[in-house]
Chain A
Amino acid sequence: MRNTTAIMNRELLSLFCSPVAYIVIAGFLLVTGVLAVFTGSFKPGAPATLRMVFEFTPYALAFIVPAIAMRTISEEYRSGTIEALMTAPVSDAQLVLGKFLASLVFYVIMIATTLVYLMLMMVYGAPDLGASLAAYIGLILVGTMFVALGVLASSLTKNQIVAWMIAAVPLLVFVWFSGWISRAAEGWWREVFRIVNISLHLDQFNRGLIDTEGVVFFLCTAAFFLFLAVKVVESRRWR
């Protein structure tokens, strides 16, 4: 655990010591800000809820989160520091978990910056804090899954752009089209696509519901991607 924490701290430090992290956060805030204004969330007399913003946020996250995670392991490959890590008393799982947690913490901080919107709403109305809490839990869970996929993609290549594409393309496909596919599919496939429909699960959280199906989906898929990432990193030892 200590190794994992050490790796996480080192990653976070390197992240926040570079202006890139702040640019990413600023970009995310700009996108969500535009969403908040264009969905009419801050119109006089509008419902005091960020639901409309959160409904569209996953589309932005499908671009942004792979960018956060793309450098985690591929940068180690590119700079050659992976060899040093391989010989250090750190297991592959600790390495992957440390990198993942660092990206996740960064992601949570990024999401937390939108709490300012909620505070602004509290000045001008009385938003449902319970529903907002559920929505934030949903965003953190969806981020957990996205970050895990980003780490897996990063473990597959030393080229960060390729890593970004490996994570972003399936996420975009799933976020943008999973709802449509699940409606178009028939029978057994319909149920399969319903189960993996990210928007559907996230919608439950946006409604203020903590649904165990969504929790299980996001956490299990995140664990699966991390497991695969560990196996990929591990394969460098015997390939």
Chain B
Amino acid sequence: MAVGTQATKRHWLYGINVIISVVVATAVLGFALVLGAKFHTSVDLTSTGLNSLSQRTRALLAGLDGDITLTALYSVPSEYVEVDQRRQDAVRDLLDLYEGAGRGKVTASVVDPLKDRGKIEEILNRLRAKPAYADEAAPHREFLKKFGEFCERLQAAVTADFEQCVKLADTDPSLKRSREFQIVATNLRRLGNETQTVVQEVAENESRDVPAYGRAADAAKDLLSLTNTYLADARGWMTGKIGQMPAVSDETHAFFDATAEKYKPLVDEALALQEEGGKLGSLKLDDMYTALKGWPDRPPILVETADEAFVVPFDDVWTYRDRNTPPGAGPDPSRDFAGEQAVSSAILRMTQKEKTGVVFVRYGGDPLLTPDFNNFNPSMGRLPTAPCQELNGLLDKANFVTAEWDVKTAKEPPIVEDAVRTIYVVFPPEPPAQPNPMQPPTEPGMSEADKQLVYDAVAKSGMAIFMARWQPPASPMMPMSRTYDYLDYLRQTWGIDVRYQYVTMEFTSSPEAPNLWIPAHQDPREVLVVSTPTIEFTDHPIGAPLASSQVAMVLVTPLAEFADAPEGVSIATIAKVRESERVWAFEDVQRFERDLREKSGTTPDTDDIRSPYPVAMAAEKAEGGKLVVFGSDRFISDDLAQQAGLMVVGGGFATYQRYPGNTDLFINTLHWLTGDADRIAVGPRKGGVPMLDKLKPGAAETFCKVFIIGVWPAVALLAGGAVWLFRRR
């Protein structure tokens, strides 16, 4: 019995001991997991640093003077839509990296507005209190106050007058028959109703979480414009045409005279208010609120400094992926994650106050940055455009100030206000006018003196980009051959040679004759376009971050190091046409056309330049001064750099930018020239995923599949069989 009791007691003791130790172990496990989740760090083992911030972003964050707050408004409305969760995770990971690299100066968080409504309120209050927005709306408030008082008087007047008009029409049949009277009366009624509506709209906008004074002011301005039109028309009729209606009674005439007199101060006041309202711009806080409010469909990231804020739009963070991005690379199958590029650009924009001037230099021709309306003909039904109009806007966003210099008309370079330095972007001079192609030009081309003006300006600034291009040779239709005017300067001063007689073309095997080549692009507009991956970047700081970006150039002429390059100049290649038997630079374009016509294909000639060869080069002088030459002047033009493509996304189509790398390449060049390597755009992180480019369809592919599914498991089975046989023996 005693033994039994002791055994039971021992069971209990051990049992309790085990329970306690398991509970303690569970608590320790839970504690460890929570600690692990709270204080975790990570090491990126990818060779491209895919999951890390770029060196440039880290340098940018290390150099921050003030604090930065990053807030992403990303919700996961349904657990069934995995892409929302993956986007939120990707953004959270990115913001964690910013916080980690920010050394206490960056605070980052992901807010799910569906679950945390209070946070939105908190963010809005924080924005309202920022110095940049606190007094921003004061003029708008003042204007709206005056507008409100004006509306009271206006509505009282037009409502009463409309009622009186109705009474007069009942008593005076001639009035009732007058079409003009009916229009005036209807307009008065419409104005009364519209005033009431706008007053309500203004009140609603003013009483929102973040009062939309800008939107309220816009509504007010629209009403003032309407008021002016209607009241001026009414006055015109009351003081003019009514006099031509003899059947109208004196009493009625007296009423309209008095009313017209009454409207005069109203019209004056409306005009004054309209003028005052015209001076009011849009409010940044309004725009920000609108952008933030779009979080259910287009979740934004808010970047804040102590003074101001900037909303990074969804489309900048999740850009439409181009067709060449491999599937499965990244968290979203339809978009590229360019979060680092977008957030770092926003931080740069807000923290870097120094501006750089960019002067586009041309000789003759049409303006490059802003459309020329001087010769605008409205009957043509199309507004004039400038080739780099959109680029101009993008440069403005990237903190540059632009200007244009036509050396033909202005002999002094423009002074760019607000800019601490100037970069010259020099385009090839336009050829002189030649009304008859068979005759020499009627005016001389760019003189040496004019060229010297450009060289002096470049020498003074020490930073320039020369845009070269293929110059067509003499042809039966155009007997005068062209040259690249800045060739000698680039050769002798910077050691860069422009092979302007050659134009790059991409080919594919002719289906009719496999040893002949035909243009790779069927679209005639794209025959002379060369794009990624034919164009590839070297590890030069300008191009290296864009290795996975899509770029395209047109009319590309090869560049080279000049044999007698001056001493003290170091030259590097930024981008080149990669080595391929399918790409070369043609010299005799007429032979190419003839070959295509007569032989259904062409072959490279001994005079042609075979790839690889540079198409963008940088030169740096030991004593100071940097210059970049591009072998294509049109790669930054909007028709190529901003060209949109269509892609199938889900059940519909979506547009995407075909060559986003073009603009980045140009802006990176500007940053490199100014020495702001930290500001060079990193390009979307597409993973830089290496491809199975040596695996060809056919035997090799079949071998892989058979080996993986059949041979390799069979080897394991055979080993098992051998062991079994060996053991049996």
**What is A's interface to B at a CB cutoff of 8 Å?**
16-23, 25-27, 29-30, 33-34, 36-37, 40, 42-49, 51-52, 113, 116-117, 120-121, 123-131, 133-134, 179-180, 183-184, 186-187, 191, 194-196, 200, 204, 207-213, 215-217, 220-221, 223-224, 227-228, 231, 234-235, 238-239
Contact = CB atoms under 8 A, between A and B. Distances in A.
A47 B720 contact: no
A186 B115 contact: yes
B381 interface: no
Given A47-B691, A129-B47, A42 B708 contact: yes
19 contacts: A20-B720, A23-B720, A26-B717, A29-B713, A43-B692, A44-B695, A46-B695, A48-B692, A49-B690, A124-B694, A124-B695, A125-B691, A134-B45, A179-B85, A183-B79, A200-B89, A216-B33, A216-B35, A235-B14
Among B37, B697, B700, B701, the most chain A Cβ lie within 10 Å of the Cβ of B37
Contact of A210 (B43, B708, B723, B724): B43
Contact of A46 (B46, B47, B692): B692
A47 B713 contact: no
Interface of B: 10-11, 14, 18, 21-22, 25-26, 29, 32-37, 40-48, 50-51, 76, 79, 82, 85, 89, 115, 326-329, 687, 689-697, 700-701, 704-705, 707-709, 712-714, 716-717, 719-721, 723-724, 727
Contacts of A130: 45-47
Among A113, A133, A194, A238, the most chain B Cβ lie within 10 Å of the Cβ of A238
Nearest to B90: A207
Contacts of B689: 47-49, 128
Contact of B692 (A22, A124, A234): A124
Chain A binding site: helix, strand, loop or mixed by DSSP? helix
Q: State the 9 A-B residue pairs at the shortest beta-carbon distance, nearest first.
A: A22-B720, A216-B36, A183-B79, A208-B46, A213-B40, A124-B695, A130-B45, A19-B720, A26-B716
B705 A216 contact: no
Nearest to A110: B716
Contacts of B707: 120
A211 B692 contact: no
Contact of B43 (A37, A47, A209): A209
A209 B53 CA distance: 13
Contacts of A30: 709, 713
Contacts of A33: 708-709, 712-713
B689 to A, nearest CB: 4
A26 B695 contact: no
B21 A231 contact: yes
A125 B693 contact: yes
A175 to B, nearest CB: 15
Contact of B326 (A44, A47, A113, A180): A47
A44 B701 contact: yes
A133 B45 contact: yes
A44 B45 CA distance: 26
A47 B695 contact: no
A221 B33 CA distance: 9
Given A22-B719, A121-B692, 20 more contacts: A18-B723, A19-B721, A19-B723, A44-B697, A46-B691, A48-B690, A117-B708, A124-B692, A124-B694, A125-B694, A127-B690, A128-B46, A180-B79, A195-B33, A204-B42, A216-B35, A216-B40, A217-B36, A224-B25, A238-B10
Given A208-B45, A210-B43, A47 B701 contact: no
A195 B329 CA distance: 25
Contacts of B37: 191, 194-195, 213
B716 A123 contact: no
B692 A44 contact: yes
A229 to B, nearest CB: 12
B469 to A, nearest CB: 33
A16 B723 contact: yes
A227 B28 CA distance: 12
Nearest to A23: B720
A200 B719 CA distance: 36
Nearest to B720: A22
A145 B46 CA distance: 25
Given A26-B714, A130-B47, A123 B723 contact: no
Contacts of B115: 186-187
A132 B14 CA distance: 47
A208 B50 contact: yes
A179 B720 CA distance: 37
A21 to B, nearest CB: 7
A116 B89 CA distance: 32
B583 to A, nearest CB: 19
Contacts of A36: 708
Nearest to B25: A227
A136 B22 CA distance: 32
Nearest to B710: A33
A220 B36 contact: yes
Nearest to B112: A190
A184 B78 CA distance: 8
A208 to B, nearest CB: 4
Nearest to A185: B79
Contacts of B326: 46-47
Contacts of B709: 30, 33-34, 37
